[in-house]
Amino acid sequence: MKIGIDIGGTNLAAGVVNDKGEIVICDSCPAEVEQGYSAVLDKLVMLVNTLRDECRREYLNDPITSIGCGVPGIVKDGVVINAPNLFWKNKPLAKDLSERTDLPVYLVNDATAAGIAENRFGASKGCKDALMYTLGTGVGGAVIVNGAVVNGAHGVASEFGHTLVGPGFYTCNCGKRGCLETYSSATALVKGLVHAVEEGVQTALNLETATAKDVVDAAREGDPAALKAFDTMVDKLGLSMANMIDILDPEIIVVGGGVSGAGDFLFDALRKKTAEYTTYKEFEPTPIVQAEFGNDAGIIGAAYAGEYL
Amino acid sequence: MKIGIDIGGTNLAAGVVNDKGEIVICDSCPAEVEQGYSAVLDKLVMLVNTLRDECRREYLNDPITSIGCGVPGIVKDGVVINAPNLFWKNKPLAKDLSERTDLPVYLVNDATAAGIAENRFGASKGCKDALMYTLGTGVGGAVIVNGAVVNGAHGVASEFGHTLVGPGFYTCNCGKRGCLETYSSATALVKGLVHAVEEGVQTALNLETATAKDVVDAAREGDPAALKAFDTMVDKLGLSMANMIDILDPEIIVVGGGVSGAGDFLFDALRKKTAEYTTYKEFEPTPIVQAEFGNDAGIIGAAYAGEYL
């Protein structure tokens, strides 16, 4: 059994994951990050102890062998280099948590954790070379090459969200203009709707209250401004995926996160657009598929991070 | 000792490479690709036999242990999937050459071979994660992750030249518009000069005869149209490299090919532009350095391909 912990700015969600990728015991608590690193570390130790005790009672012959943490930020060699939502910089979390629990501890970025969950048990299972895009408030990524995650020299690999894919129509949180995240995230869908209306395109949606899901639903019904925002998202995502095929030529591309819930309407358009932008059209198209796990991916992938480092 | 062969549309260049990366014996012959695959295979066998005989005489205690071939096209698992300049499709070259020489044979793309040469003996020596851009008539690439080349599911990884980086001002050989190759190759520099003049920018160069080197030299002297073409090249190359840092975060980026001969004038501008486009500016910039090998890279890298597959 392995423990996976999804460390978020609001909640710490932890689970005991079995070798089928099922969360058999779970627990969570508020992160209260404003209390500082040591306080959060104490909570993580408590979560681990609680899960371990329960695991001992329920699965006597299958003890916890390791812990993995998914962190919303840059991690490198067991150290959280920077996690703005946690207010952490250069925190040796793997070492600290390992000393307090006597278990090996592995750290990965949270989007990478989702990619690991899909690769170990989900949509890209069995593929040694796979990419994952997570389309949520932002755009996260995971790169798996030859069965291992690519973390990079500074821990900033797989940040697809900040690759530049066009001129941009608003400035990204990172300060750049033209990031994929400003075209293809949930945030970008809503901003894209407003932008289309500003350019004179009609919509039946209420600009004050429309969510990303509203934009997708309206696009599906043919709402002109929503369709424009949706097409822009698909265009840039397709361009990014075609570029990834020219760079890494993965066996499969998995798409998760809230926006991926748009289903076939999104995936059909995305496959078509990626094919248009693909250089070598004589091959079978690289499969672009929906993620199988939802919110659990963070815990499951974190639990199995050690196999991918 | 290892044999490396650089298979080109015009010439077959082969060499015996020692464990310091030196070509100690070399030979070549016209490729005469129009005579077909079998005829070229015969020539390759002859080259290998000649080199092996000479190696036996000169380096009695250091026999040839393997052969590597760099191929101008798509290769996968020892098969040349498509090499337009050779008129080859789906040729099992590794198997065929191995049967005729009784030596293990490894195939790689020719740009990948250059990347291997630099990684094993040159500018990126000692780096497990490295990229190489080759700026020539086209733009080639090599991706090394965790000490192995990334070749991809279809053998089309590392085709940086066809990643889309802008709207484009002419159509690429591949049929797409906006490929890096149409901004940052030698060809693109010359076309960029013409394009700038068409847009009304002045030049002292002769548009009929100007070469890529002329454009760089004139840009260095401040020629307005040449400078515009040069700046465009640097802008798109910098964008591509910053995107690569967001995707793979390599330890180092090596730049080779004829255009890289522009030296500091190019590299200073390129480092500055890449830094501008880089997402995480708080880290030491990823080194962007000139390749150490010239034309020999093809033979040296091919010889050592087996260590990277």
As for the ipTM of the complex, it is 0.96
What single letter denotes the amino acid at residue A109? Answer: N
In angstroms, the CA B49 to CA B64 distance is 11
Residue A157 has pLDDT above 90, yes or no: yes
Is A169 in contact with A195 (CB distance < 8 Å)?
A: yes
Among the partner residues A82, A154, A163, nearest to B247 by beta-carbon distance: A163
Report which of B171, B273, B264, B202 is spatially closest to residue B231, judged by C-alpha positions. B273
Q: Summarize the confidence of residues A117-123 as an average pLDDT.
A: 98
Q: CB A153 to CB B286 under 8 A?
A: yes
In angstroms, the CA A110 to CA A133 distance is 12
What single letter denotes the amino acid at residue B73? Answer: G
What's the confidence (pLDDT) of residue B60? Answer: 85
Q: CB A82 to CB B174 under 8 A?
A: no
Given CB atoms, is A43 within the 8 Å cutoff of chain B? no
B153-170 core/surface letters (b: 16 or more CB in 10 A; e: else): bbbbbbbbbbbbbbebbe
Q: Residues of A with CB below 8 A from B283's CB?
A: 154, 156
What's the confidence (pLDDT) of residue A156? Answer: 95
Inter-chain Cβ pairs, chain A and chain B, closer than 8 A: 122
Residues 195-234 of B with CB under 8 A from A: none
Q: Residues of B with CB below 8 A from A129's CB?
A: 150, 152-153
Average pLDDT score, chain A: 97
Q: Residues of B with CB below 8 A from A176's CB?
A: 277, 279
Is B81 in contact with B93 (CB distance < 8 Å)?
A: no
Instruction: Label residue A195 exposed, middle or buried (CB < 10 Å: 0-12, 13-18, 19+).
Output: middle
Chain B residue at shortest CA distance from A127: B153
What's the confidence (pLDDT) of residue B136? Answer: 94
Is B48 in contact with B60 (CB distance < 8 Å)?
A: no
Residues 105-124 of B with CB under 8 A from A: none
Given CB atoms, is B250 within the 8 Å cutoff of chain A? yes
The CA distance from B277 to the nearest CA of chain A, in Å, is: 7
What's the confidence (pLDDT) of residue A140? Answer: 95
Per-residue pLDDT of chain B (309 residues; tens, 9 = 90+): 999 999 999 999 999 999 999 999 999 999 999 999 999 999 999 999 999 999 999 998 899 999 999 999 999 999 999 999 999 999 999 999 999 999 999 999 999 999 999 999 999 999 999 999 999 999 999 999 999 999 999 999 999 999 999 999 999 999 999 999 999 999 999 999 999 999 999 999 999 999 999 999 999 999 999 999 999 999 999 999 999 999 999 999 999 999 999 999 999 999 999 999 999 999 999 999 999 999 899 999 999 999 999
In angstroms, the CA A157 to CA B247 distance is 5
Q: Are strands A23-30 and B66-71 parallel, antiparallel or unpaired?
A: unpaired
pLDDT above 70 as % of chain A: 100
The CA distance from A165 to the nearest CA of chain B, in Å, is: 7
Q: Residues of B with CB below 8 A from A247's CB?
A: 141, 143, 157-160, 163, 244, 247-248
Q: Residues of B with CB below 8 A from A148's CB?
A: 146
Q: Residues of B with CB below 8 A from A157's CB?
A: 246-249
Hey, is A71 helix, strand or coil? strand
Is A107 in contact with A137 (CB distance < 8 Å)?
A: no
Residues 73-92 of B with CB under 8 A from A: 74, 82
pLDDT digit string (tens) for A71-101? Answer: 999 999 999 999 999 999 999 999 999 999 9
Residue A60 has pLDDT above 90, yes or no: no
Is B247 in contact with A157 (CB distance < 8 Å)?
A: yes
Among the partner residues A145, A154, A160, nearest to B150 by beta-carbon distance: A145
Among the partner residues A148, A159, A277, nearest to B246 by beta-carbon distance: A159
In angstroms, the CA A267 to CA A188 distance is 18
What's the confidence (pLDDT) of residue A273? Answer: 98
A136-149 core/surface letters (b: 16 or more CB in 10 A; e: else): bebbbbbbbbeeeb
pTM, two decimals, is 0.97
Given CB atoms, is A249 within the 8 Å cutoff of chain B? yes
Q: Residues of B with CB below 8 A from A171's CB?
A: none
User: H or E segment at B95?
Assistant: helix B93-101
Q: Residues of B with CB below 8 A from A245's CB?
A: 152, 156
Q: Are strands B252-256 and B130-135 parallel, antiparallel or unpaired?
A: parallel
User: Three-state secondary structure along A252-272?
Assistant: EEEEECHHHHHCHHHHHHHHH
The CA distance from B143 to the nearest CA of chain A, in Å, is: 8
DSSP A86-125: GTEEEE-HHHHHHHHHTS-EEEEEHHHHHHHHHHHHSTTT
User: H or E segment at B271?
Assistant: helix B264-277
Q: Which residue has the tokens 């699965």?
A: A59
Hey, is A25 helix, strand or coil? strand
Chain B residue at shortest CA distance from A309: B146
Q: Residues of B with CB below 8 A from A82's CB?
A: 282
In angstroms, the CA B136 to CA B139 distance is 6
Q: CB A279 to CB B156 under 8 A?
A: yes
Q: CB B82 to CB A282 under 8 A?
A: yes
Q: In chain A, which ranges are E strands?
A: 2-7, 11-17, 23-30, 66-71, 74-76, 79-83, 88-91, 105-109, 130-135, 139-145, 148-149, 252-256, 288-290
Report which of A158, A163, A187 is spatially closest to residue A240, judged by C-alpha positions. A163
Report which of A249, A242, A253 is spatially closest to residue B74, judged by C-alpha positions. A249
Q: What is the DSSP letter of B175?
A: S
Report phi then psi at A252, rounded to 5: -160, 150
Q: CB B156 to CB A249 under 8 A?
A: yes
Q: Residues of B with CB below 8 A from A145's CB?
A: 145-146, 150
Q: CB B146 to CB A151 under 8 A?
A: no
- B176: CB partners within 8 A, 6+ apart: A277, A279, B162, B164, B168
Q: CB A248 to CB B150 under 8 A?
A: yes
Tokens encoding A179: 């990031």
Chain A residue at shortest CA distance from B141: A247
Cα A275 to chain centroid distance, Å, stands at 24
In angstroms, the CA B172 to CA B168 distance is 9
Tokens encoding B244: 């690569």
Q: CB B154 to CB A279 under 8 A?
A: no
The answer to whether the Cα torsion of B274, B276, B280, B286 is positive or negative is positive
